[in-house]
Amino acid sequence: MSATSKAEGLGSVAWWGFSPAIDLIETYSGFFDSLSIDSVTVLIAGGSDSRHILQTVSNAVGDSNLVQTYFILDSALEVYARYMLQIYIAMEQEDRFNLQEKTELFLELFGNTMIREFTATYLRHVATEFIKYRIELIYVYTDYRITTSFEDSTKCLQFMNMMHLRFRERDVLESIFKFWREKDENIFNIFKCWDYRLRRHLGTRYDAIPNVFDWDCSITLHDRQADQIDSREYSWWRRRGVAFELRPADYTVSNRCLASGKPFRNSKGENTVYWGYWGDITCSPYLAFGITTSMYPELAKKVNGRRSYGATTISEVNVRSLLWRLGHGCKCPLKVAAPFCIDNSRDTSEPEQDVNAPSDLSHDAPVSGPSLAVQDSGESTVTSPSTEESTTSISVKFHLLANSYYSFVALLYYIHNGSAKKPTDASLDARLEEKPYAPLKTKNQFGVKYLPLNSFTELSSRYRSLFVGDGRKPIDIVYMGCSMSHLLDDEKLVARRNYSKETSTKDETETMWTDDNTGLVSILNNRALLIVESVLYMVELRPAEVEAYVERITKSALRLGFRLTKKPEPMKDHHLYFVHDRANVESK
């Protein structure tokens, strides 16, 4: 397969990462002592989504009061907008959306090309909030033209600090949010965009679609320790772009937060920007949350050599657990995260469910008080314990009845009893107006700051004052996504050293080397960690290409002044880890 075809499959913008979510602070603690520090500064370049931020913040349990500051840098403003949207959903209070609703909203907007009308209404509402209230748009007239000012950031949310963005970038962000608010499906039909990309990518192989998709999943992904992804769900996503169908509903609205512009040259030689879906169509969004079962080993169960739970279910459990930990500051019990695979003998050793946990995700055992039934209409109905069937969400019941002969009949019963009412814009708008948005109070304080696009090579020069100086904190962790890892080869990141002569009191000439305060290491802490995302799960890359990528990244990191923590295993490691060592900086 040609390089052009591989690039066509990955797209020009990365909507999600190509590796599992990791706890950055826990990873840092594995190499350095983090107990003696009270704040951590993290630079995420090319992360593509907020999975690492949410995973790190949600895992902050115990008495830790570590202040976390994240600097985000990417190549597309649409990615910045999705960062804000994902963290906004994760920080929703449970009095506005219960745990199951938040999980569904997050995953649908994260990896689905088609979403429910309920989710589309929420997206339009959030876009309006970003424009009117949260970003604090203040229009001022300067030289007879309208600009957008973000100088008054006192009312901005902690995860929406855009003080460092250029004014033009802020204006483009506003236009992106306005695009999210539109309802006309004729302007942006993502299904047609997906089909166009698919036909262009596969070419003559389009007629062999079932076999092509099955090969990429069963042979490539499964051989690279991603066998949690079932070939059927992977093929369904490759064909239509819908990864997460967590309830029996109509997914008929285009997901506008997956739209971006791409320049093309027409027959006249003029550049024209076309809006469409220009993201990944080969790797899948399952990689972010759907291939890790370390927190809940029950999900790794196999029957006759096959996984009992696919990547869709694992993603739902991991995201539900993540959102629960954000609000409660402790480990999520199995009865909340995955009630459908709970073991009675194991449940006795599980921690008790928090009294504030949503009762719709509790175990099927009878409870002594009223519970809330999850409804797609945006309303919460109090039910008595005798109506046990209506207290469990459609999503959980769907998993419980998936292998039952009467699953379809049972599903119709739940729909008939009102557990899956058709959503209405009015009910959701009324709920959102009644309860204004207020972010969760997390265990540890954290903030997210957005840097200008493609400014990674200028951080040590033009933006040096953000990390070095009075009241500034150097970077402790640098995370590089594979979409921007090529920037590690840039000469601007290499620390140069000046040759100078100084005369001692004994008139003896001594040769001394002094740092020129340049390069990436000049804005790093003395003990810094570099994490680089691998290309292990890119299905169209051969093993030799994965090994070549790891070798190139290793050479670049050593050249910048880092050293390997362990010998890399290209066909097993989804991340590469390096620690900062000034002795490895090349002399120039």
Question: Pick the residue with more confidence: 358 or 557?
Answer: 557
Which tops the pLDDT comparison, 240 or 270?
A: 240
pTM value is 0.82
Whole-number percent of the chain with pLDDT over 90: 58
Q: How far apart are CA 112 and CA 492, in angstroms?
A: 38
Separation between Cα atoms, residue 290 and residue 7, nearest integer Å: 24
Per the CB < 8 A criterion, the answer to whether 51 and 288 are in contact is yes
Torsions phi, psi of 428, nearest 5?
Answer: -70, -45
Give the distance from CA 582 to its chain's centroid.
Answer: 32
With a cut of 90, say whether residue 185 has pLDDT above it.
no
- Kindly indicate the confidence band of residue 184, based on its pLDDT and cuts at 50, 70 and 90: confident
Ranges 118-122, 354-358, 465-469, 537-541: which has the least confidence: 354-358
Tokens for 99, please give them. 């745990």
Of 275-289, 389-403, 536-550, 564-578, the range with the lowest mean pLDDT is 389-403
pLDDT (0 to 100) of residue 249: 92
Collapsing DSSP states into helix, strand and coil, what is residue 416? helix
**pLDDT, greater one: 323 or 372:** 323
| C-alpha to C-alpha distances, 538 to 31, 320, 399, 534, 587, nearest whole angstrom | 28, 26, 29, 9, 36
The answer to whether the beta carbons of residues 370 and 385 sit under 8 Å apart is yes
Enter the tokens of residue 277: 């879906």
Encode pLDDT of 20-71 as tens digits: 999 999 999 999 887 778 899 999 999 999 999 999 999 986 656 789 999 9
Residue 148, pLDDT above cutoff 80: no
Q: What pLDDT score was predicted for residue 425? A: 62
DSSP result, 102-158: HHHHHHHHHHBSEE-HHHHHHHHHHHHHIIIIIS--EEEEETTEEEEE----TTS-T
Is the Cβ–Cβ distance between 451 and 69 less than 8 Å?
no
In 3-state terms, what secondary structure has residue 353?
Answer: coil
pLDDT for the residue numbered 54: 96
Predicted pLDDT at 420? 42
Rounded CA separation 80/561 (Å): 30
Tokens of 379: 């309303």
Residues 6+ apart with CB under 8 A from 35: none
pLDDT class for 442, splitting at 50, 70, 90? confident
- For residue 498, what pLDDT is reported? 53
Selected residue with higher pLDDT from 63 and 585: 63
Length of the chain: 588
Phi then psi for residue 516, to 5 deg, are -95, 10
- Residue 469 pLDDT: 85
The arithmetic mean of pLDDT across residues 117-128, rounded, is 95
Better-predicted residue by pLDDT, 276 or 408: 276
Higher pLDDT, 12 or 502: 12
Q: What is the pLDDT of residues 515-524, one digit of tens each?
A: 456 789 999 9
Q: Which of 175-189, 247-261, 354-368 has the lowest mean pLDDT?
A: 354-368
In this predicted structure, the answer to whether residue 176 has a pLDDT above a threshold of 90 is yes
> Is 588 within 8 Å of 497 (Cβ atoms)?
yes
Output the pLDDT for position 378.
40
pLDDT score at 360: 38
Sequence-distant (≥ 6) Cβ neighbours of residue 409 within 8 angstroms:
none
User: How high is the pLDDT of residue 353?
Assistant: 39
pLDDT digits (tens, 9 = 90+) for 202-225: 999 999 998 999 999 999 999 999
User: Rounded mean pLDDT of 229-253?
Assistant: 95
**Whether pLDDT at 120 is above 90:** yes
Looking at per-residue pLDDT, the higher value among 462 and 4 belongs to 462
- 367 touches 326 (CB < 8 A): no
Helix, coil or strand: residue 509: strand
CA atoms within 13 A on the CB side of 430: 9
Task: Identify the pLDDT of residue 136.
Answer: 52
Mean pLDDT, range 469-486, rounded to an integer: 93
pLDDT one-digit tens code per residue, 305-343: 889 999 999 999 999 999 999 999 889 999 999 988 775
pLDDT band of residue 414 (cuts 50, 70, 90) is very low
Query: How much is the pLDDT for 393?
Result: 41
pLDDT tens for residues 492-501? 999 875 544 4
With a cut of 50, say whether residue 405 has pLDDT above it: no
Q: What is the pLDDT, as a whole number, of residue 269?
A: 81
The per-residue pLDDT for 517 is 64
**pLDDT in the model for residue 25:** 94
User: What is the model's pLDDT at position 156?
Assistant: 52
| Arithmetic mean of pLDDT over the chain | 80
